[in-house]
Amino acid sequence: MSTRTTAATDMQAFDLRGGLFQLVGPTLASAVGFWAWMLISPIQRFHAEGMDLSEGQVSLMLATAVLVGAIGRIFTGALTDRFGARRMFTVMLLATVPAVLLVALAGSLGSFALLIVAGIYLGIGGLIFAVGIRRAAKACASN
């Protein structure tokens, strides 16, 4: 094999046209999902002061989204294998939007129970990790 053929083969291995978007897209979508998932953490101080919550209630409020995000990855991974990462990204991000709005509503109403429900629903944003890993792995494997 000549040097010219070897160089051309090496360049094809590192050609990211098309693959770059397939890698950057899931990364950005994952960042948005993680932002929504952890949204409750930076605003917990305002909720705690406004609703006069105890430390145990604040801990429960913060733990719900993390717990749902951690446990739900098992099911999300299986659904991603079945329906594909592109569809699951869309579903997960669209399902996270009402959860963010529900956190705002719970804070304005001063309802701790609604805040817990919002935290459970926000756990969907943490599930995006299982989808993003699968999508990015496919993008890297195809190049």
pLDDT digit string (tens) for 19-35? 666 777 777 878 888 88
* pLDDT tens profile 83-125: 988 888 888 888 888 888 888 898 888 888 998 998 888 888 8
For position 69, what pLDDT does the model report?
84
Kindly report the number of other CB atoms within 10 A of residue 57's CB atom. 16
Name the strand (E) or helix (H) holding 84: none
Distance of CA 60 to the CA centre of its chain: 20
* Cα atoms found within 13 Å of the Cα of residue 126, Cβ hemisphere only: 22
pLDDT > 70 fraction of the chain, expressed in percent and rounded:
78
For position 31, what pLDDT does the model report?
83
- How many angstroms separate the CA atoms of 98 and 121, rounded? 9
φ and ψ at residue 53, rounded to 5 degrees? -90, 145
Give which of 81, 88, 51, 44 is closest to 66, Cα–Cα: 44
List domains and CATH numbers for the chain. 18-142 (1.20.1250.20)
CA dihedral 83, 84, 88, 89 (to 10 degrees): -170
Question: Is the whole-model pTM more than 0.75?
Answer: no
**9 pLDDT above the threshold of 60:** no
Name the strand (E) or helix (H) holding 143: none
Name the more confident of 119 and 9: 119
